Chain A
Amino acid sequence: MEIKTEPGKREKEWEPRIMAFLCRWCSYAGADLTGSSRTSYPPNVRILRVPCSGRVNPLFILKALRSGADGVLVSGCHPGDCHYTAGNYNARRKFAVLARLLEYVGIDPRRVQFSWVSASEGEKFAKVVSGVVAEVKALGPNELFRLTNYEQTVKEQ
């Protein structure tokens, strides 16, 4: 289904919705710092805190896209700094494979992005989010992987 307001109006007002999985120890804290430093960043991001970037199952990323997210950001601690020692190393391997798979299937890799943001990198977080939002906005709404297009389903009966 597509969420439509009035025909035409949707295009002018469209803003991408980005799902961000941030690790609790580094990236989430970094995002907090961005806020407390009064550095502004686009409000398009919905943040979901996870204990570690290694907690992020590729399923979450795919399901986010399926549920209507236009883009996904996963961010964790820098390699070597993981609170759980190796969580982000495992994540790095998983995401390397997933990113290539998504690209092979035709989902633009700019929709699903990854970053290392530490707890002190408030500025970086703002930059990363701005970058993701800009790139996804340029790509347009995620029409491809969204929940079944309702109108098309009904037409096909």
Chain B
Amino acid sequence: MAEARAEVRKEDLVNLVQDLFSEGRVDYFLGYQPGTVKFKTTPLIIKKGEDIQKLAVDDYGHYNLTFYLKEIKGRVGILVKGCDSRSLLSLLREGQIKREDLYIVGLPCPGQIDPKKIAAALSCEPEDLEQIFRRGREMIAKVGGQEKTVSLTQALLEKCLACRYPKPLVFDTLLSGEYTAPISPMKRPEDDLRPKPAAEKWAFWSAQFERCIRCYACRNICPACFCPRCLVEENMPQWISPLPSKGDNFLFHLMRLMHVTGTCVSCGECERVCPMEIPLMKLNEKMNDDLKELFAFMAGVDLEKALPFRTYHQEDPDDFIK
């Protein structure tokens, strides 16, 4: 049995946060604590003097906590995984946060578990899963009292399978642990929608956007969506009707995508929080692939490189223009 990955020691984290507060280095610390329902972790926002022992890191800590930086200003300590650090870089690049206000703590991540995927692999409902845990480098799920093994490919979030940045790109300190991709870099599976004809694509997205209830969870949890006043809140004139009709839902999602172009780092939070399970990451991935192809740009990895819509080249792709 392969050796287990070195785990993050809670004491390391707790002591660190203790020191940060006692030195007056931060006013808030953003971390995680166990959730109140199975397989869920919840963000923990602590201030000085509050119970630091509540901090915990486990396999379900999916949250990209950087979205809180839109709201919580001042000196903030934040726990980031490799992928989250790209959001930080993105926000720094866009001038939304100041580096000196942050104390960035790197978190080694063994890949985040997706209970829905495991349930699908075991042909059961997510509610039927009794336990999920790692044994060495294997993933075990308990269903109906029986232990079943699932592969990491079956158990982890899709984005974790194509992990390119397991180590934070920006940090003040790294918690001790293993900073490697959960499985040797596997390319994200091809999006089988891209080669399909227009009518099929339309039918697919129509069905998806008919279900959107316009809860705006995708927008609110997105670190890249930092407009103080969102387009949908404009009512003089009203560009996008609040009605969750298919057409207006299309308008909302397409415009949101255009607005986060260059800032979105494909963290996957939008898709994770959607209550109607719309595959929003398909859109983000397409857009980010286009940016790479058209302008050799990747968000959240470089503090120097110009943002795609703030610059241009004489030789920019032109063939689609008459």
Contact = CB atoms under 8 A, between A and B. Distances in A.
A101 B257 contact: yes
Interface in A103-157: 103-109, 113-116, 128, 131, 144-148, 153
B48 to A, nearest CB: 44
A66 interface: yes
Contacts, number: 110
B258 A97 contact: yes
A106 B199 contact: yes
Contacts of B94: none
B286 A101 contact: yes
Interface stretch (B54-62, B239-247, B265-273): B239-247
B312 A90 contact: yes
B75 to A, nearest CB: 36
B205 interface: yes
A59 B234 CA distance: 13
Q: Which of B245, B254, B255, B316 has the most CB of A within 10 A?
A: B254
B287 interface: yes
B317 interface: yes
A93 interface: yes
Given A101-B286, A146-B247, A106 B316 contact: no
Interface string A49-91: 0000000001100110010000000000001100000100110
Contacts of B258: 58-59, 94, 97-98, 101
A128 B198 contact: no
A86 B286 contact: no
Interface residues of B, number: 42
A145 B245 CA distance: 11
Given A93-B295, A95-B321, A66 B251 contact: yes
B309 A90 contact: yes
A58 B260 CA distance: 13
A9 to B, nearest CB: 25
A109 B317 CA distance: 16
B194 to A, nearest CB: 7
Interface residues on A, range: 35 or more
Contact of B254 (A62, A90, A147): A62
Say what secondary structure dominates the interface of chain A: helix
A21 B130 CA distance: 58
B322 interface: yes
Interface in B169-205: 193-194, 198-205
B306 to A, nearest CB: 11
Nearest to A86: B312
A79 B250 CA distance: 31
B16 interface: no
A144 B193 CA distance: 19
Contacts of B231: 59
Interface of B: 193-194, 198-206, 231, 239, 243, 245-248, 250-251, 254-255, 257-258, 261, 283, 286-287, 290-291, 294-295, 308-309, 312, 314, 316-318, 320-322
Closest 8 pairs (CB-CB, A-B): A106-B202, A106-B201, A89-B312, A115-B322, A114-B321, A148-B245, A58-B258, A100-B290
Given A63-B239, A101-B290, A105-B254, 13 more contacts: A86-B312, A92-B316, A94-B309, A97-B291, A97-B308, A100-B287, A101-B283, A103-B198, A105-B250, A106-B206, A116-B321, A144-B206, A153-B245
